[in-house]
A and B are shown apart, each in its own frame.
Chain A
């Protein structure tokens, strides 16, 4: 009898690893970043082969839910899942039950009923991925929540910088423009902080949020500050997020005259990045956007392999580093 009991203990399946999400750079470590970048590198090489599809995530289901318009992020998540042989489904808010007033909670529960392995969500409101993580059993990947976080963008930006400059540690990155409305900036400041780069924010006073220096960066309104940087990271002027009559800047014309990134404001050899979509002639001069030192197309390619790495990392039994089981617990 005793032997049988021991047998039963041994046969019990191992406790399932904690469900992992990728919601905020704040939740991960430098080791996680290094592992994800290394995985992305491997995938980059696999994409050089003639047959680009890997069987790795065969039978897995990845659902992309996009409540905001997107070209780069939604297409690269979908292709990333397909390249790894996962089944994919894409839901957009327009044309779905969201139009009929369905709440995010109910939409998430509905999609959760298909037992997806991963839900990738973009939403205009901060905290939407946390809600999805709470009401479904899926791993949740944040593809942008309001002005909060866009962690896979930060990851692809790090990947791009390392490809172009050979390192991240010790780099000086100037992030220019509308920091206030930018989830890209928030994730990138944290990711660069984790990997040992220095960050200077440059922009008009009302678009540099009060207290932002506490994230471990400098902030200045002086555009000349970009001259000292290795990488000039240009943010999009987010006209769609600006409140009517808020007067963040007197006019776009005045903004581009004062803070537009032009060839005259750059040193030769400085790398320029932009998360897209660009407002040519507003935050970035077209001559800069089309110059060989611009890494904008590299960023797009990096988006595919880093997103493959994120999906792979969450769904394979690799080291557990990305956590957020109890994100909604009150302090």
Chain B
């Protein structure tokens, strides 16, 4: 289900790092030897076998990250991102696998379109990439796509991301038929009659700035509907980019009642509140919007207690000229692949809001599990999917740090701690700084 360009596997030793795998319960200073792309030895003073040595003393080696929600803009907007640039950005962010969303032009709603993406990924993807296909044709909310054929052609899951499946009857059919494919549906929850015209979270800040509000209930109402349908049909589902505390509550309750619901949250929803919008910076415009302090707190709490099991960047590149306009005219979306770890380390781990090992798990094994992908693991016999992190390094986010073709980052100008030094994805060094 994941595709990457053909490249020779690596022989190397990462020497002297603190090796931390939260799932394996591993936390020790060790050498890691990779033979032909596979972890062959873990220990102190392991024989280097004349492999290349990566000196990593004082750094942290963890299972590489998995991003379940990326917009690669290909086909259609290759000026904003390509498979090559998006996967290069992913490698620079510490990711060994990413999943692309189907809201491209044309929409990924046929095996032919999916097939051409797979071919492209095999030629140019720097890290393994998978693709979700649309739930409805053209994401228009009218007719189901040929889901079984799309699954056979390699779709990791199904999503109309960017749009809700508005009609409950159609959503029910999608859940029923989705079961045949063995793939999970990933839902963008938005009741558009409540969010219409909405520019930012509805609350005190939107009232003062004059923006049309996008209320929390526009999301949570749809979350409740989809959970009710999933419970009734006894089917799993995945909820994309939660933003409101009511949504977190609903998922927690449904999971406790046995619904196989999973959920993800983005770095910006974990780090920001609507107060930031006072700057009117179009790089803070996203859907769903960042919300109030109570929402941010609930999202962090949900991530800690396992209601939310994945961090997803919702990396959404936009052309420079499309964001250099007044806030209201700007498109929704911000980039995130290259900054997710340092942003979350700086804004959540360092202030003591989230334990480091929870962050590492929710960025790696957590998202992999949702779509049934192999969990990155630091163990002898596993494929080498490793990220080397320098927690003491600090750097300023400027436009020239990005490998993405777009620079619409909400972090521009900020100084962040925790830098990705190297990424080994599917046994190959995909990034080294």
Contact = CB atoms under 8 A, between A and B. Distances in A.
B410 A210 contact: no
Interface in B274-296: 275-276, 278-284
A103 interface: yes
A105 interface: yes
A147 interface: yes
Given A126-B327, A131-B325, A211-B204, A329 B279 contact: yes
B213 interface: yes
B280 A105 contact: no
B326 A125 contact: yes
B327 A327 contact: no
- 6 cross-chain pairs, A with B, having the tightest CB-CB distances, nearest first: A147-B210, A214-B204, A125-B326, A211-B204, A127-B280, A209-B207
Contacts of B325: 103-105, 125, 131
B208 A186 contact: yes
Interface of A: 103-105, 123, 125-128, 130-131, 145-149, 183, 186, 209-212, 214-215, 243, 246, 327-331
Given A243-B196, A330-B281, A148 B210 contact: yes
16 contacts: A126-B199, A127-B282, A127-B327, A131-B325, A146-B210, A147-B210, A147-B211, A147-B212, A148-B210, A209-B207, A214-B204, A215-B204, A327-B280, A330-B276, A330-B279, A330-B283
B324 interface: yes
B381 interface: no
Contacts of A128: 326
A330 B206 contact: no
Contacts of A209: 206-207, 213
Contacts of B281: 328-330
Interface of B: 196-197, 199, 202-213, 215, 275-276, 278-284, 321, 324-329, 410-414
Listed residue (B213, B284, B326, B414) with the most chain A CB atoms within 10 angstroms of its CB: B326
A104 B325 CA distance: 7
Nearest to A105: B324
Contact of B327 (A105, A125, A329, A330): A125
Given A126-B199, A209-B207, A331-B278, 9 more contacts: A126-B210, A126-B327, A128-B326, A130-B280, A209-B213, A215-B208, A243-B197, A327-B279, A329-B281
B211 A126 contact: yes
Contacts of A123: 326
B280 A126 contact: yes
B59 to A, nearest CB: 29
A147 B202 CA distance: 14
Contacts of B324: 103, 105, 131
A241 to B, nearest CB: 10
Contact of B326 (A126, A147, A210, A327): A126
B244 to A, nearest CB: 14
Contacts of B206: 209, 211
Contact of B329 (A125, A130, A148): A125
Contacts of A145: 326
Contact of A126 (B197, B276, B328): B328
Nearest to A208: B207
Contacts of B411: 330
A145 B206 CA distance: 14
A183 B207 CA distance: 11
A101 to B, nearest CB: 12
Contacts of B279: 327-331
Given A125-B326, A131-B325, A215-B208, A210 B280 contact: no
Contacts of B276: 330-331
B207 A212 contact: yes
Given A126-B211, A126-B328, A330-B279, A211 B203 contact: yes
Nearest to B278: A331
Given A126-B327, A131-B325, A211 B280 contact: no
Contacts of B205: 211
Contact of A330 (B199, B321, B329, B410): B410
B326 A127 contact: yes
